[in-house]
Structure 1
């Protein structure tokens, strides 16, 4: 069953954390912000929703860079229960898809919990002041690759954020596989 995150909590501030990336470096989420904003997306390697849109995520991340918006992806899934989402497999995924942004590992799931991430993919679009302005979908794709002419919801919203600092009030929520949480001890 698909999970759907809540709508945008406008003005909520991006929370920082330092996480290991597939390129062997450790990054501060906030330090990755571009001059006009940042997109933080929670993804994983095995989710059919992510697999259907990963090429579009890469396309939009590259295009948003020209607008001063940076991009970072975070995997918080329980890799013990879902081995395809292991850190080693994240490295393969990042390489196979030529991710042009850091792909971070939230092994203890604390960042996903702080952000209130619900599904993969789950997009958080922040303005230059790191205030949340977008919590919606990439486009109307689901588990299948949608037609090439789909409206680029995330891209259009973040271009507006780069230009005005504000996101659209009308946002369609993302949809995807639920975050695979570790069992409580």
Structure 2
């Protein structure tokens, strides 16, 4: 019985640990994660950036694949305006080998990503941000007080990609910030595959 109680307690702790994360208005920590080119990338590297579109995504998830071209389009439009995309793969590749670092390099090369595609080997950054899905987006605004979280959630409300009248949450948030306004919508439910956590 004691052993079962301990297992239940550990399971509860792991769930609560994964549930932690940022709220809108929080200051996001920086990181140094390995890019597909072998170099490390941090937010501090982007001296002229006004903010960031941090996207937790991966190779294998059908939702991540469905949103891939939209993530690429976000970078093409907003990187030049000071809000580059920073993509992070949070998944444990032992669960899904398709999400291995070698396959990340292959995917990035084949699709000609214009943004860094980073691996969160320890999953520490994923837990700090509170990402739970792929894709899961955090829009950060660079301020004198650090990188402030201004939007958390989905890219838009159209997982299928065929709705001409979809609400473009991330675009709307970044456009507002570029006009020195706060986004009208600051949080939505991220829709995607659950992150594949490493076993304890």
**TM class by shorter-chain length?**
0.7 to 0.9
Q: Are 1:31 and 2:45 matched, yes or no?
A: yes
Contact residue 127 and residue 162 of structure 1 kept, 8 A: no
Q: Distance in 2 between matches of 1:71 and 1:106?
A: 16
> Equivalent residue of 2:84, what SS?
strand
Q: Which runs of at least 4 in structure 1 moved beyond 6 Å after TM superposition?
A: 5-8
Q: Distance in 1 between matches of 2:66 and 2:49?
A: 29
Q: Distance in 2 between matches of 1:82 and 1:45?
A: 9
Contact residue 30 and residue 43 of structure 2 kept, 8 A: yes
User: Larger C-alpha radius of gyration, 1 or 2?
Assistant: 2
Q: Which residue of 2 aligns with 1:46?
A: 60
Flag structure 1 segments of 5+ consecutive residues without an equivalent: none
CA shift in 2, pair 1:64/1:135, >3 Å: same
Q: Are 1:147 and 2:163 matched, yes or no?
A: yes
Flag structure 2 segments of 5+ consecutive residues without an equivalent: 1-18
Q: Which residue of 2 aligns with 1:70?
A: 84
Superposition CA RMSD, Å:
2.1
Q: Which residue of 1 aligns with 2:154?
A: 137
Q: Distance in 2 between matches of 1:120 and 1:90?
A: 14
> Equivalent residue of 2:34, what SS?
strand
Comparing 94-103 and 145-154, the one that deviates more: 145-154
